[in-house]
Amino acid sequence: MPAKDVVKSRDRNFRLLFDEHPQPMWVFDSATGRIKAANSAICALYGYSAKEFTSMALTDLLPANELRPAEASGIGPSAWRHAVKSGGLIDVEITVQNISLNRQRLQLATVRDITAKRHLEEQLRQSQKMEAVGMLAGGVAHDFNNLLTIITGYSQLLLNHTPASDPNRQPMEQILKAGERAAELTNQLLAFSRRQTPKPKVIDLNTVVSSLSVMLRRVIGEDVELSLTLEPGIGRVRADPGQIEQVLMNLVVNARDAMPAGGAIEVSTHQVTMGKPAADAQKPLRPGPYVVLEVSDTGVGMDDATAARLFEPFFTTKPEGKGVGLGLSTVLSIVTRAGGAVDVQSEPGRGAIVRVFLPRVDLPLAVEPEQARAAKGGAETILLVEDDPTVRELVRETLNRSGYRVLDAADSMEARRIASAHTGSLDLLITDVVLPRVSGKQLAAALSARFPAMKVLLISGYSHAALGDNGGNGDILQEETPFLQKPFTPSAIVARVREILDGSGRTKSAGS
């Protein structure tokens, strides 16, 4: 066969293999970047016909005002972000090799769609980032709870000995209120880091919204107007107040971000009674009374496609680095856990309205234990183990003032030496769970062998649930184990001590 025919036959075979190959491919001129041929797989991926591709250069596929953005994300030099005919973006990896076709020196590009891979990698990065932030938040909250125990504790001790006529009483009350507010914030940090379990109680939604309004105004900035329209007498709901604050904060921040040039946000509450849901309703609410929290804005709004994905984890319409897409998924999780639902109404250019429905309950408002009863003291002997010296001094002074005999130690080793030298009974062990060298769990188990009648109260800046998964503490941190989370007030620990000693609290000993 003549050489010329051999070349033609080879080129025909290449064309057939090229056209039918399942791998998306182009042939292009490396000098100009012009596309010379496109197979059916590449046409299906990008949406262009083979004829349309031959009138384009590779640079025509780059998104407007972007130059190899995928390289900046660390994928590698062969990774590109391209615009498809429909207007969407895809991430691709391109491998290029030299070929000879029709006696021309060209290049063959094979293309692999890595859009799904990129999405999963981004989700993993965000998940790892959130886990790291959560661990940091939990650690900071734990340490801060020790400080707040001191601030609120000594403030209350001072108030207990300050008459109402004293001009210093009001500043002391403000210090105590600030400490209590800070404690609520640390609880939110612990909830964010999954180191705090929800603590639902009966609350007034209007009170929660009003108490958070000052912070909301600071968060949204001066170019956004915030107004509150709270319907009086809307009834009560049963939910974790810190998590409801988180819901409101997330919704308001989202509304603010939808108004880059400023605007208005209205937070309102009202009540509604839901009838029997329609047969085709999706996730209908049960019939009955509900309290509604509504956040509306005058922002850019959203189309139906965006609204449909609004509560997906990691989905965000914000620029890279401005949001992780977890705010609204967190809102939905909290509200659903409380037995409610979330409804969104929005149109492009006409703002958005988000309504949170929470079941209304006919129950009295929750009352804090220290407000419900006066704490009584006693004369029993207590061993206190706390590695923070200021917290240890506060608790020792509080219990001494209530009549108890207190032996105190900075760690488990010192506590064991004190217990060995002690000749009388030991009625109660109060120990921080996380201690240097030997944990509070191990200390309680060792001492209960010598003092079988001894009762145990565990204290910690972490939550009960978090400690159950931390350092092997789970077998003592059971539901029956008395536990008091920091920060606590002097009246709270005195009341808890008396409750345990009297046997009215959960009093399972460490060694049982």
Query: Rounded to a whole number, what is the distance in angstroms from the first to the last CA of the chain?
Result: 95
Helix (H) or strand (E) holding 53: helix 50-53
User: Is 138 a domain residue?
Assistant: no
In this prediction, residues 71-85 reach a mean pLDDT of: 65
CATH code, domain with 354:
3.30.565.10
Q: Domain tally for the chain?
A: 3
User: Is 420 a domain residue?
Assistant: yes
The pLDDT assigned to 20 comes to: 84
Least confident span in 153-167, 204-218, 358-372, 376-390: 358-372
CATH code, domain with 495:
3.40.50.2300
Single residue among 332, 366, 400 that ends a domain in this structure: 366
CATH code, domain with 29:
3.30.450.20
Tokens of 36: 């010379």
Per-residue confidence at 314, pLDDT binned at 50, 70, 90? low
User: Is 143 a domain residue?
Assistant: no
Of 121, 99, 120, 81, the closest CA to residue 25 belongs to: 99
Q: Which residues of 22-43 are buried (b: 16+ CB within 10 A; e: fewer)?
A: eebbbbbeeeeebbbbbbbbbb
Per-residue confidence at 330, pLDDT binned at 50, 70, 90? confident
Per-residue confidence at 78, pLDDT binned at 50, 70, 90? confident
- The total of other beta-carbon atoms located within 10 Å of residue 147's CB is 18
Helix (H) or strand (E) holding 105: strand 104-113
Same domain, 227 and 253: yes
Per-residue confidence at 291, pLDDT binned at 50, 70, 90? very high
User: Is 185 a domain residue?
Assistant: no
Summarize pLDDT for 277-288 with one digit per residue, the tens: 544 344 567 888
Cβ atoms 35, 28 nearer than 8 A: yes
Residue 197 in this model has a pLDDT that exceeds 80 = no
The pLDDT assigned to 145 comes to: 80
Cβ atoms 206, 237 nearer than 8 A: no
The pLDDT assigned to 454 comes to: 94
Rg of the chain over all Cα atoms, to the nearest angstrom: 32
- The whole-model pTM stands at 0.50
The pLDDT assigned to 326 comes to: 54
Which of 66-80, 190-204, 339-353: highest mean pLDDT? 339-353
Of 126, 42, 47, 37, the closest CA to residue 87 belongs to: 47
Alpha helix positions (H), 161-240: 169-192, 205-220
- The total of other beta-carbon atoms located within 10 Å of residue 408's CB is 19
Same domain, 291 and 347: yes
User: Is 152 a domain residue?
Assistant: no
Same domain, 235 and 317: yes
Could you tell me the residue range of the domain that residue 19 belongs to?
3-113
Same domain, 209 and 356: yes
Summarize pLDDT for 14-31 with one digit per residue, the tens: 777 888 899 999 999 888
Single residue among 305, 334, 366 that ends a domain in this structure: 366
User: Is 306 a domain residue?
Assistant: yes
Residue 187 in this model has a pLDDT that exceeds 80 = no
Residue 484 in this model has a pLDDT that exceeds 60 = yes
Tokens of 219: 């968060």
Of 377, 375, 338, 321, the closest CA to residue 488 belongs to: 375
Residue 2 in this model has a pLDDT that exceeds 60 = no
Least confident span in 72-81, 85-94, 153-162, 210-219: 72-81
Phi-psi region of 82 (alpha: psi -120 to 50; beta: other; left: phi over 0): beta
Summarize pLDDT for 121-137 with one digit per residue, the tens: 877 776 676 666 666 66
Strands 455-460 and 483-485: parallel
Helix (H) or strand (E) holding 28: strand 25-28
Same domain, 252 and 360: yes
Residue 500 in this model has a pLDDT that exceeds 70 = yes
The C-alpha atoms of residue 49 and residue 58 are separated, in whole angstroms, by: 15
Of 145, 219, 137, the closest CA to residue 182 belongs to: 145
Between residues 365 and 85, which one has the greater pLDDT?
85
**What percent of the chain has a predicted confidence (pLDDT) above 70?**
76
Residue 476 in this model has a pLDDT that exceeds 50 = no
**What percent of the chain has a predicted confidence (pLDDT) above 90?**
32
The pLDDT assigned to 175 comes to: 85
Per-residue confidence at 232, pLDDT binned at 50, 70, 90? very high
Residue 82 in this model has a pLDDT that exceeds 70 = yes
Same domain, 230 and 215: yes
Of 238, 245, 243, the closest CA to residue 198 belongs to: 243
The pLDDT assigned to 317 comes to: 57
Least confident span in 238-247, 261-270, 306-315: 306-315
User: Is 353 a domain residue?
Assistant: yes
Single residue among 312, 341, 366 that ends a domain in this structure: 366
Which of 182-191, 324-333, 447-456: highest mean pLDDT? 447-456
Same domain, 76 and 225: no
Same domain, 356 and 407: no
Same domain, 95 and 207: no
The pLDDT assigned to 33 comes to: 87
Same domain, 233 and 355: yes
- Per the prediction, the chain carries an average pLDDT of 80
Same domain, 94 and 45: yes
User: Is 139 a domain residue?
Assistant: no
Same domain, 322 and 353: yes
The amino acid sitting at 374 is A
DSSP string, 387-418: SSHHHHHHHHHHHHHTT-EEEEESSHHHHHHH
Residue 396 in this model has a pLDDT that exceeds 50 = yes
Cβ atoms 458, 481 nearer than 8 A: yes
Least confident span in 254-258, 302-306, 394-398, 473-477: 473-477
The pLDDT assigned to 374 comes to: 56
